[in-house]
Amino acid sequence: MRNTLRVERAIKNVTQAELAEKIQVSRQTINAIESAKYVPSTVLALKIAAFFEKKVEDIFSLDETD
C-alpha cells in the first residue's frame, strides 16, 4: 500500500512525533507507515485521514503488490 503521509505532514508542517501524539501511536509507527514498512489498520488510517481533514483514499492507495 502506498501513502502520501510524508507529503501531507510537510504541507501541514507537523513532525512525526506531533502526529504520533495526536493519534496515540508511537513515533516509530508513523515512521514505519511513511516508509511503507507497516500497513495501518482501518481505524488508524481513518484517524490519520481525520487529522489531515481528508478522505482515506486521498492519503492511502493500493499498489501492484496488494
Note whether 9 and 16 are within 8 A (CB).
Answer: yes
Choices 2-10, 18-26, 53-61 (CB under 8 A): range interacting with another protein: 18-26
As measured in angstroms, the least distance from the Cβ of 26 to another protein is 4
Q: Cell 507497516 identifies what position?
A: 38
43 binds another protein (CB under 8 A): yes
Of residues 61, 54, 57, 62, the one with CA closest to residue 8: 54
Binding site for another protein (CB under 8 A): 20, 24-29, 31-32, 35, 38, 40-41, 43-44
